[in-house]
Amino acid sequence: MSSLPRLAVLGSGKGSNFVALQEAILAGRLAAEIAVVVSDLPNAAILARAAAFGLPAATLPPSPFKTKLGPEAEAALLGILRAHRAEWVVLAGYMRVVKAPLLEAFPNRIINIHPSLLPRFKGLRAWEQALNAGVAETGCTVHFVNADIDAGEIIAQQRVEVLPGDTPETLHARIQVAEHELYPSALAKVLRSA
Ligand code: GRF
């Protein structure tokens, strides 16, 4: 049996960071195994991308709120993570607040990537916040998740220059290129020192 750390990847969107992680695993740059990919949204592209890699994928039941899971979905999530023997929870474009049940089940084992140089520009559309603030550089941050939004201990950051003429879309696209480099290497570092 393999003794690689077992990751559960949670995402609500297109899953490009998930793909970067799985490609790093396949290339031998990240010593881990993706045990399951979970989405809160049944149509999220991350689910199809997980299936294309032959990885188990699961969708949570609907929640009555937009920004957090309801009790049924929260219980389903914990059940899925247990069933797949997940040891780490890796958020990759997961758009819901992480609450106590998950935080307590995986203490210091939930990791996120955020598209800014935290602590600046927490929250949604951080690249647009950076553009509106007129900063010369922004970037991305890999951090541990705690009960405060985008405020857990920082693991690694990568800078991205804001260029003249950048739109929210062009800037976000360059930040995503940086994310795809940073996330696998930052995660590898965490797993090595765990
Ligand atoms: C990324 O920009 C990430 O920083 C943020 O959500 C986006 C997810 O993109 N948390 P993807 O689904 O991985 O392509």
Residue 92 Cα: closest atom of ligand 1: 13
Q: Whose CA is nearest to atom 1 of ligand 1?
A: 93
SS3 label, residue 32: coil
95-132, pLDDT tens digit by residue?
999 999 999 999 999 999 999 999 999 999 999 999 99
Give the C-alpha separation, 143 to 182, whole Å: 11
Rounded Cα distance between 112 and 9, Å, is 10
What lies within 8 Å, CB to CB, of 22 at 6+ separation is 34, 53, 55
| CB-neighbour burial class of residue 118 (10 A; exposed 0-12, middle 13-18, buried 19+) | buried
Pocket test for ligand 1, best of 96, 176, 181, 182 (most atoms within 8 A of CB): 176
164 C-alpha to center of ligand 1: Å?
23
Name the one residue in this structure whose structure tokens are 């559960």: 8
- In the predicted structure, residue 81 carries a pLDDT above the cut 90: yes
The residue to mutate among 16, 67, 128, having the most atoms of ligand 1 within 8 angstroms of its beta carbon, is 16
Asked whether the predicted pLDDT for residue 1 surpasses 70, the reply is: no
| Token code pair at residue 26 | 């396949």
2 or 133: which carries more pLDDT confidence?
133
pLDDT digits (tens, 9 = 90+) for 34-56: 999 999 999 999 999 999 999 99
| Mean pLDDT estimate for the chain | 97
Ligand 1 center–CA 104 separation, angstroms: 24
Ligand 1 touching residue 93 (CB < 6 A): yes
The response to whether residue 11 sits with its C-beta less than 6 Å from ligand 1 reads yes
**Average of per-residue pLDDT across 141-159:** 97
pLDDT tier, 87 (very low <50, low <70, confident <90, very high otherwise): very high
Ligand 1 atom at minimal distance to the Cα of residue 11: 12
Residue nearest to atom 5 of ligand 1 (CA): 93
